[in-house]
Amino acid sequence: MAGRARLDDAPERLVQAAIGLLAEQGPSAVKARAVASASGLSTMVVYSHFGGIPELMGAVVDHGFKELGRAFVRVPVTEDPIADLFVMALSCRRLARENPHLYDLMFGLSTRATYRPLSDADLRLSGRSPAFRDAYAHVTAACERLVDSGRVERQEPEVVAAQLWSLVHGYITLELADHFVEFEDAVVQVLQPLGVNFSVGLGDSRERAEASHQAGALLYDSLVEGR
């Protein structure tokens, strides 16, 4: 029975082992033998459960987006949708900084390595996965609350979400690549004003947008301290 229990949780153990290798050594360390060793399983188990490293990386991506979705769930829905969205942006940033290589993998980046994507377009590591869509649905819902609040001009929430997603992950990608090292606090000096300008561009007043981002920063800090 003990052996059966060990094999029943094998997929999760392999995924966690791969995530650990990404965080500690980078993508070049993620090989079948290394993953098997880190998980306490045999190399054959890697192939029997996933078929190979590319398929395992697909499961790692799903795990990353599930973690992102759980982070979004922990963001309280307040009467200030802009503050809520800024908390979500900061939550994305935190997860990216905790494991930059995993973030690269999730978003198809190659600033630190390539990941041998699968040739089948339906199986590529892309934004079409259910795990990604479940996480992204929280962003769209928050943008819908923003549009319905009347603080910005009437527009499609899906378009607002896509624009905000691009803004946030553009910032995160540049920060991870050390493009903001000259700033004492890049969040305060770059990301927060960027969010304010984006909100004003959507139709909000600058005063309200600045207040919302300040409130979001405080709410985020309280959530992190309470983790």
CA 128/CA 122 separation, integer angstroms: 8
For CA atoms 81, 85, 88, 90, the dihedral sign is negative
Q: What's the pLDDT tens digit per position in 39-68?
A: 999 999 999 999 888 889 889 999 999 999
- Single out the residue of 101, 98, 106 nearest to residue 126, CA to CA: 106
Q: Per-residue pLDDT averaged across 129-144, rounded?
A: 95
Contact 145/207 with Cβ under 8 angstroms?
no
CA 148/CA 164 separation, integer angstroms: 17
CA 72/CA 163 separation, integer angstroms: 18
pLDDT of residue 27: 85
The model's pTM is: 0.88
- Single out the residue of 180, 161, 159 nearest to residue 171, CA to CA: 180
Contact 38/21 with Cβ under 8 angstroms?
yes
pLDDT of residue 7: 64
Q: Per-residue pLDDT averaged across 179-202, rounded?
A: 97
pLDDT of residue 8: 72
Q: What's the pLDDT tens digit per position in 68-118?
A: 999 999 999 999 999 999 999 999 999 999 999 999 988 877 434 444 445
- Single out the residue of 95, 20, 25, 98 nearest to residue 60, CA to CA: 20
pLDDT of residue 127: 62
Q: Quick one: 184 exposed, middle or buried, by C-beta within 10 A (0-12, 13-18, 19+)?
A: exposed
What are the structure tokens assigned to 111, written together?
């600033």
Residue 179 is given by DSSP the state: T
pLDDT band at residue 1 under the 50/70/90 scheme? very low
